Amino acid sequence: MTGLELYTATARRASGAVISAYSSSFGLASRLLPPQMRGDIETVYALVRVADEIVDGPGAESGLDPAGCRRVLDELEREVERALESGFSADLVVHAFAETARRVGITTGQTAPFFAAMRRDLDPVAFADERELRTYVYGSAEVVGIMCVRCFLGGERLPDAEARRVARGARALGSAFQIVNFLRDLGADSAGLGRAYLPGVDPAAPTDEAVGHVLDRLEGELRIARSTVALLPRGARPAVIAAHDIFAALARRIRATPAAVLPTRRISVPPAQKAAIVARAALGAGLSRTRPDRQRSLRHRAADAEPAR
C-alpha cells in the first residue's frame, strides 16, 4: 500500500468501528453486503452518526452549550466540503466518507440538506404541520437513503426512469426508518431533548388514533421501498431486505403496543428475531442456502448486540 492507500484503509476501519458500536440493526444487516459495498456504507453511517452525536447529547455532556455544538457541527460540515473537494481530511471519519463520496457520486446536494436537518435539532423542535416534518425528514433520513443507493451502485448510472424509482424507494425507506425511531423514542426525545417531531402526536400522552395514522403512512413507505429492491444491484438486495424487514417488524410491535405506553417503553425487536430476519433475507437471495454456519454466526451476533437507535 502507498501512504494514502494505508491512510484510507485505516480511515475505513475506523468508520467500521462506529457502526459496530452504535447500531445492532444496521450493523447486522450490513454484514450481508459484499465487502466493498459494506465498507462504503460504513463510511456514510459513521459520518451521519458523528453529526448526530454532536446534537443529540455527547456534545452537551462534554460541556458545550447549543452555540458551541453549532460551531462544532458547522466546522464538521466545512471539513466535509473541503474533503469532497480535495480528497483528504485529517479527520479519519471525514476522510473515509469523502473517499467513498468522490468515487460513488455523493455530493453536497446530499450533505447540505443533511447538515441543515442536524442544525435544526439544536433549537427546540415542535413541528406543527406535515411540511415542517417532511422538510426535516428529507434532510435527516431521505438523503441518507440516496447516499446508500449511490454506494450500492458504485458510480454506475441507471436509466432515468429506473433511477427515479430507485431514488423514490431509497427516500421512502429512509423516511420510514426515521419515523419508526420517532415513535419508539417519543419519551426520550420529548423529556430528554425537548423535541416533538410528529404533528398531531402528543409525546406525553399519545393516542392510539394519532399513532395509528403515523403508522399507516409509515407502512405505505415501507411498501414503496420494498417494491424497488429488485432494481438494486444483486449484492445489495439481501441487506436492504433485512433492514426493511427489521423495521417492518418494529412497526408491527409499535402498532401492537398501546399508544399510552410508548413514552415510557422503547420498543425493540428481540435479537433472536432480528437474526432470523437477516437469515431469511440471505436465504431469499440465494446467499445462505448451503451455509448453515453463516446463519448461526448471524444469530450469535444478533444475540450479543444491544438495541441501538
Cα angle 63, 67, 71; round to 5: 95
Helices (H) and strands (E) in the chain, counts: 16, 2
Contacts of 249-258 spanning 24+ positions with Cβ under 8 A: 249/273, 249/277, 250/180, 250/184, 251/176, 251/180, 251/215, 251/218, 251/219, 251/222, 254/180, 254/183, 254/184, 254/211, 254/215, 255/211, 255/212, 255/215, 258/208
Q: What is the pTM of this model?
A: 0.88
- In whole angstroms, give the CA distance from residue 187 to residue 149: 32
Angle, helix 130-137 to helix 160-184, in steps of 10 degrees: 110
- In whole angstroms, give the CA distance from residue 54 to residue 66: 10
Query: How far, in Å, are 51, 127, 179 from residue 121 at the CA level?
Result: 11, 11, 15
Residue by residue, pLDDT tens for the chain (309 residues) are: 789 999 999 999 999 999 888 877 777 788 999 999 999 999 999 999 999 999 987 888 888 999 999 999 999 999 999 999 999 999 999 999 999 999 999 999 999 999 999 999 999 899 989 999 999 999 999 999 999 999 999 989 899 999 999 999 999 999 999 999 999 999 888 887 889 999 999 999 999 999 999 999 999 999 999 999 999 999 999 999 999 999 999 999 999 999 999 999 999 999 999 999 999 999 885 343 333 333 444 444 433 333 333
- In whole angstroms, give the CA distance from residue 250 to residue 275: 14
Q: Rounded to a whole number, what is the largest CA-CA distance in the chain?
A: 59
